[in-house]
Structure 1
């Protein structure tokens, strides 16, 4: 499935490549106002590297492996649908602070969560807003639950990138399956969710898999409209049956997030319990 998205030349020597969406579809413009594009400045322009999602007016969640050596001048763009077209909905920010989880493990991507503090609050509009996310103690989506994700990542293993936001619907797989030696083995931890498209066996055709890929890292995995995971990593190729996407379980980190953001839980996060 996907490989993690890395940021910067130095990171490329340390971290395998990133995440993107295989087999998905274009999202309705600005239907996901929490989506963020993390971009590296290149000359007079910028290049999308990773995804993220806004959780408060100055805070965006992403993955540690997206910025392992620091912000290094990167920008955060909110309100985008097209990466290249001029859109009056876009708001661009400098990164004031980057908080990578202190226990991130580059060997297996355990604790792959980071918080970005924007240089100023965003202006809330129909195209820019926050995502609710699951807090500690809430019910996680079960095996087979339908989840969805979005991003500007690669659409195939050749690295083809879309210009507009794509989205995909997938199904949660059991942790026991993802711990099997022919899947991820011991690299799959209790802080991870694995998912890919629900499909009928043998489910081995190129169009039967929906998956994240290079460039989707840091984006959200949602269940019933609430973020339950952060796109992290997977296999060296996207869309493989035995290398589904791996997502960091966000509810395991809400105490750390509250501490970093310096906000009371009820003031910024919606607690979601499944019926």
Structure 2
């Protein structure tokens, strides 16, 4: 079974007339030296989505990455290669048992496309595993800003999918421009932003990874055109700052729940 067959089964979304698709394959990029905040979401040992480590026990990803049914979701941190090697001293893996999809997530519109995953144990922060701060002030990133997007996948439209982390610099495009009729025709809300350029893009198969601008996470890879690298169908990202209250309250409430249900030691 091909990776695309697996992904098609996992990421079942309603396709709009503008042909919006889950994103993630890094097009026009290069191999990364390693990004300690990057997380690989996996089913049966197969990578299918990315994620962002935002604390020592929380991961932020895209809601459409949440697999249907009772499938066991694992995450991998601390490595830029997906291959398991006996000499890896930084790689850690966890089975995810607690997750939180944004309550307003709409799979048809791909709106409010955020997912929080709670690690069963806190990770040891190191040079290989380190949370990335996310945007706190609700302001648009200026158009023309160069930002970094990373993911595991192909760096060309054809060819074998490598197992190493890839990254590419993309340019932020104004929401007004992306909402033009010849772009996304008013599909973008204030909760979304777009970035990309001809031949450089995120693409199918690796949604959920972060968009990093000025050393701060500002977006989560959400959707885009079926034809990756299309200048008039740039990648669309969920703006993290618009969901700070939900992120913080969800993490706080989950921590309280864990504390109140833990056995009392006498």
Bin of the TM-score, shorter chain as denominator length: 0.7 to 0.9
Q: Which runs of 5+ in 2 are unaligned?
A: 16-20, 254-266
Partner deviation per Cα, 1:247-266 (whole Å, 9 max, x = no partner): 00000000000011008xxx
Partner deviation per Cα, 1:39-63 (whole Å, 9 max, x = no partner): 011xxxx110000011111100000
SS state of the match for residue 117, structure 2?
A: strand
The answer to whether the 8 Å contact 1:7/1:66 transfers is no
In 2, distance between residues paired with 1:69 and 1:193?
27
The answer to whether the 8 Å contact 1:6/1:17 transfers is no
Which has the larger Rg?
2
The alpha-carbon distance between structure 1 residues 13 and 233, as it changes in their structure 2 partners (threshold 3 A), is closer
Deviation at 1:10, TM superposition (A): 5.8
Counterpart position of 1:178: 178
Deviation at 1:169, TM superposition (A): 0.6
SS state of the match for residue 131, structure 2?
A: coil
Answering whether residue 221 of structure 2 is matched by residue 218 of structure 1, we say no
Counterpart position of 2:129: 128
Partner deviation per Cα, 1:106-164 (whole Å, 9 max, x = no partner): 122111111000111112121001000001x3433101111111110332334742211
In 2, distance between residues paired with 1:226 and 1:12?
30
In 2, distance between residues paired with 1:13 and 1:256?
24
In 1, distance between residues paired with 2:6 and 2:248?
26
In 1, distance between residues paired with 2:54 and 2:242?
16
Aligned-residue RMSD, C-alpha: 2.2
Equivalent runs, 1:65-84 vs 2, <5 Å? 65-67=64-66, 69=68, 72-84=71-83
The answer to whether the 8 Å contact 1:150/1:166 transfers is yes
Deviation at 1:14, TM superposition (A): 5.5
In 2, distance between residues paired with 1:121 and 1:245?
32
The alpha-carbon distance between structure 1 residues 11 and 244, as it changes in their structure 2 partners (threshold 3 A), is closer
The answer to whether the 8 Å contact 1:7/1:68 transfers is no
In 2, distance between residues paired with 1:71 and 1:147?
36
Alignment partner of 2:27 out of 2, 14, 22: 22
Answering whether residue 196 of structure 2 is matched by residue 196 of structure 1, we say yes
The alpha-carbon distance between structure 1 residues 6 and 237, as it changes in their structure 2 partners (threshold 3 A), is farther
TM-score when normalising by structure 1: 0.82
In 1, distance between residues paired with 2:79 and 2:23?
20
Partner deviation per Cα, 1:8-48 (whole Å, 9 max, x = no partner): 736437675542110011111x3x1010000011xxxx110
In 1, distance between residues paired with 2:138 and 2:30?
30
The answer to whether the 8 Å contact 1:149/1:222 transfers is yes
Answering whether residue 36 of structure 2 is matched by residue 33 of structure 1, we say yes
Deviation at 1:82, TM superposition (A): 0.8
The answer to whether the 8 Å contact 1:74/1:95 transfers is yes
Aligned pair count reads 242
In 2, distance between residues paired with 1:54 and 1:71?
24
The answer to whether the 8 Å contact 2:76/2:94 transfers is yes
Counterpart position of 1:64: 63
The alpha-carbon distance between structure 1 residues 10 and 125, as it changes in their structure 2 partners (threshold 3 A), is closer
In 1, distance between residues paired with 2:78 and 2:196?
27
TM-score when normalising by structure 2: 0.84
The alpha-carbon distance between structure 1 residues 70 and 138, as it changes in their structure 2 partners (threshold 3 A), is farther
